[in-house]
Copies of this chain bind each other. A is one copy, B any other.
């Protein structure tokens, strides 16, 4: 399901337990810390995807933990606060938290907000960060719209590029010619399905995918790594 890691920093064990239970039920991996320093070291040892941070902690102020975390890592943080004044909330947000939730909270609301924030971060990372797609001797950097074959930049036409990406992103999945036409050319394409063949051949040559871009006789094509 999901495999995002959540770190809960909360000194009231019952609340920490509720959060742990609720998020694990939704498929998250959860670890709990009961003091600020403990939480900080856990975050450093194994950076989670998101931190749920209590405002009031026995040793360090939650806001300070938040600052420490955001200074070193770019991990999204949600602050848990007792029902407070607007000033408190502003203070929390200024310290670097991405959202805040007031106690008592609705567990499903917390999960929903966590999902929203994680998704936002994924989007940002997809767009800005280099998450190259490496498939054997091919490396795709979508941000650059470029494909490298052993460090050599391939010059692909638009259709070739989209087709290749589609195959590389869905290894082993069979695509019929009409499915590829629908997906890449658009649902209103009226031409011959043999058009796909031609592009597949060109990709095979340019990207040296002869044995890996496999013909499934009578069905279509699929990309089989290795």
Chain A residues at the B interface, C-beta cutoff of 8 Å: 86, 89-90, 93, 99, 104-106, 108-109, 112-113, 115-116, 119-120, 141, 143-146, 157-158, 172-174, 216-219, 222
Contact = CB atoms under 8 A, between A and B. Distances in A.
Contacts of A90: 106
Contacts of A89: 106, 109
A86 to B, nearest CB: 5
A158 B217 contact: yes
Given A145-B174, A173-B143, A112 B119 contact: yes
Contacts of A109: 89, 116
B157 A217 contact: yes
Contact of A112 (B113, B145, B146, B216): B113
A120, A144, A172, A173: most-surrounded residue (chain B CB, <10 A): A144
A154 to B, nearest CB: 13
Nearest to A222: B144
A144 B115 contact: no
Contact of A157 (B104, B158, B218): B218
A64 to B, nearest CB: 21
Contacts of A174: 143-145
27 contacts: A86-B104, A86-B105, A89-B106, A89-B109, A90-B106, A93-B106, A93-B108, A109-B116, A112-B113, A112-B116, A112-B119, A112-B120, A113-B116, A115-B116, A116-B116, A141-B172, A143-B172, A144-B172, A144-B173, A144-B174, A144-B222, A145-B222, A146-B172, A157-B218, A158-B217, A158-B218, A158-B219
A199 to B, nearest CB: 14
A219 to B, nearest CB: 6
A195 to B, nearest CB: 16
Contacts of A143: 172-174
Contacts of A157: 217-218
